[in-house]
Amino acid sequence: MIGALIGVLSLFAAGAAMADPGPGHVRTSLNMRAGPGTAFPVVMVLSRDVQVAIIGCLDDRTWCDIEYDGARGWVSGAYISVLIDGGYRPVRDSGARVVISVLGWDIDDYWDNHYRRANFYSDRERYRHEGPGSQGRSSQPKSQSSQQTQQQRAQPQQGQQQQQGQPQQGQHQQGQHQQGQSQPQGQSPQGRQQDQQQKGQPQKGQPQQDNKQPH
């Protein structure tokens, strides 16, 4: 009898410590989206202070699936509050004191059940790789990828270095040709001196002029 009473009290205490979340309270004007992430389309805009039904949240409670005015969608767990110990706290920070169902994410199942008539339903493939557990994203960290790209840009190509550092063969020969043109055209200085001496001597066969003055 006493043991049964203790068991009932224990269950009552556990239920009091882990309370049902009840209605969620929207803390600010908020977008309700078609999936757990800001990349998904906006289903509607929730006004501040409206109450919504919390269907469940992701394991880390960053995003929660809610229902409002007959529509389903996802909102950030930081902007939905629940009543805890007489005060409202964000769902994301509620911890184990509030029992909230843990949900997974499957875009095919969710969109087929709730968005068949939505104008974005045909764009499903565009959003398939968004949300938790998505596939197709690069496994390489972005910082490492950008660092490798910067290193590749900083290293010039070997062919460009050789072309910039070595003069072309045609230009080298042209410089030598110009150097040869810098010498005076015509005969050498010795040749010019011989020409001057030859000009002072009479040519063969011509009488020499008598420079003597007549008496």
Question: Whole-angstrom Cα distance, residue 50 to residue 47?
Answer: 6
Q: Are 108 and 115 in contact (CB under 8 A)?
A: no
Residue among 110, 103, 138 at smallest CA distance from 124:
110
Domain count, the chain: 1
For the chain, helix (H) and strand (E) counts, in that order, are 6, 8
Task: To the nearest 10°, report the CA torsion of 86, 91, 97, 98.
Answer: 90
CATH of the domain at 94: 2.30.30.40
Measured distance between the N- and C-terminal CA atoms of the chain, rounded to whole angstroms:
180
Please check whether residue 82 lies inside any domain of the structure: yes
Please check whether residue 149 lies inside any domain of the structure: no
Print pLDDT tens along the chain (215 aa).
444 433 433 333 333 344 455 789 999 999 999 999 999 999 999 999 999 999 999 999 999 999 999 999 999 999 999 988 888 889 988 877 788 999 999 999 999 999 999 999 999 999 999 888 543 232 233 334 444 444 444 454 444 444 455 555 545 444 444 444 444 455 555 555 555 555 555 455 444 544 444 44
Domain that holds residue 34: 19-114
Tokens coding 40: 């998904």
pLDDT digit string (tens) for 136-193? 232 233 334 444 444 444 454 444 444 455 555 545 444 444 444 444 455 555 555 5
Please check whether residue 200 lies inside any domain of the structure: no
Residue 66 bridge partners (DSSP): 54, 73
Please check whether residue 178 lies inside any domain of the structure: no
Q: Are 115 and 104 in contact (CB under 8 A)?
A: no
Residue among 34, 54, 56, 55 at smallest CA distance from 44:
34
Model pTM score = 0.54
Please check whether residue 190 lies inside any domain of the structure: no
Question: Whole-angstrom Cα distance, residue 34 to residue 117?
Answer: 13
Please check whether residue 161 lies inside any domain of the structure: no
Q: Are 59 and 136 in contact (CB under 8 A)?
A: no
Please check whether residue 91 lies inside any domain of the structure: yes
